[in-house]
Chains A and B, each alone.
Chain A
């Protein structure tokens, strides 16, 4: 089954304790991205990647890191989480056409609480 898999689904952590949220896709997609979803703010892009070893900042990259060492994986790293990073996080992937993008497949989300 074609899918984007995020882990964990739920995570409660303490301020300053480094964590990684994993994301893996099995569709050989070039494009991968991370979003956070907050009430009243919709979806905001954190980072995206056009292909292996190619990453770029989205709209809210502060406090986050990513890497794209393999095409299928795109982990999100919070080096020193803070309470304002409490949010619902989504990973998404898509393939690229010569004229644009075919549209995202989203993961099921990771609900992160930082206390």
Chain B
């Protein structure tokens, strides 16, 4: 079947720290992979995506590489800001359906 597993949060970092949020997936075939971000009181927003193995998605300083050999799509950012505090969701799209991870809350302290 298809599923997404994310590291549990919350993750608490100081401003300018390096961020990694782990995401691994199980899927048949060739899924597309996504990261979404949800700020308090809002809907999810697409952060970045990758559609095939070895693709790197990037946006707003965030990056993630589609690793088929390790079935992973870890989210990274070199220097986080307080404004990055949000919940981050990893997702895959396969056979006409989206599958979301449970979300990882990130708190960035000044």
Question: Which A residues are closer than 8 A to B by beta carbons?
Answer: 4, 33, 35, 40-43, 45, 48, 50, 56, 58, 90, 92, 97, 99-109
Contact = CB atoms under 8 A, between A and B. Distances in A.
A100 B93 contact: yes
Contact of B102 (A40, A45, A97, A107): A40
A42 B45 contact: no
Nearest to A58: B97
Dominant secondary structure of chain B at its interface with chain A: strand
B59 to A, nearest CB: 11
Contact of A99 (B44, B45, B51): B51
Given A42-B101, A42-B102, A43-B89, A103 B96 contact: no
Contacts of A45: 97-98
Interface residues of B, number: 21
Interface of B: 31-32, 34, 36, 42-46, 49, 51-52, 89, 93, 96-98, 100-103
Given A99-B51, A103-B34, A43 B43 contact: no
Which 7 pairs show the lowest CB-CB distances between chains A and B?
A106-B43, A42-B102, A100-B32, A43-B100, A103-B46, A101-B93, A106-B44
Nearest to B4: A42
Contact of B45 (A40, A43, A106): A106
Given A42-B101, A100-B32, 20 more contacts: A33-B98, A40-B102, A42-B89, A43-B100, A43-B103, A45-B97, A45-B98, A58-B97, A90-B44, A92-B44, A99-B51, A99-B52, A100-B31, A101-B32, A101-B93, A103-B34, A104-B44, A105-B46, A108-B43, A109-B43
